[in-house]
């Protein structure tokens, strides 16, 4: 098992809520909101902790099965790019 340890201060929580807005979640996942995603993935990740600790393979499989992305990192990158891209 390859566990990931990620600091999860309030600023990170706020940022994830911002990039994973309802529009993004509805277009790219089987969830209506990031809250629904967190609820369904709570068996893999304690979203209320000060540090996220998750098994990389298991959590990425959850992401693959419930979103358009092959990994959590891909999902974060896509949401960040969409939220902060500059219109051309």
Q: Tens of pLDDT along 17-38?
A: 999 999 999 999 999 999 999 9
Burial class (CB in 10 A: 0-12, 13-18, 19+), 51: exposed
4's tokens: 């990931």
In this predicted model, what pLDDT tens digit does every residue of 9-18 receive, in sequence order? 999 999 999 9
Structural domain for 74, as ranges: 3-84
Q: What is the pTM of this model?
A: 0.91
Number of domains in the chain: 1
Q: Which pLDDT score, from 0 to 100, does residue 87 have?
A: 64
Percent of the chain scoring above 70 in pLDDT? 97
Question: Whole-angstrom Cα distance, residue 3 to residue 5?
Answer: 7
Burial class (CB in 10 A: 0-12, 13-18, 19+), 15: middle
């Amino acid at each position: 098992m390859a566990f990931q340890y990620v600091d999860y201060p309030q600023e990170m929580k706020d940022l994830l809520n911002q990039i994973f807005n309802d529009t993004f979640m509805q277009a790219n996942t089987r969830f209506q909101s990031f809250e629904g995603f967190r609820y369904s993935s709570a068996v893999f990740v304690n979203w209320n902790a000060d540090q996220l600790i998750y098994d990389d393979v298991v959590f990425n499989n959850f992401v693959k099965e419930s979103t358009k992305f092959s990994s959590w990192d891909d999902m974060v990158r896509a949401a960040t790019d969409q939220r902060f891209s500059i219109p051309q």
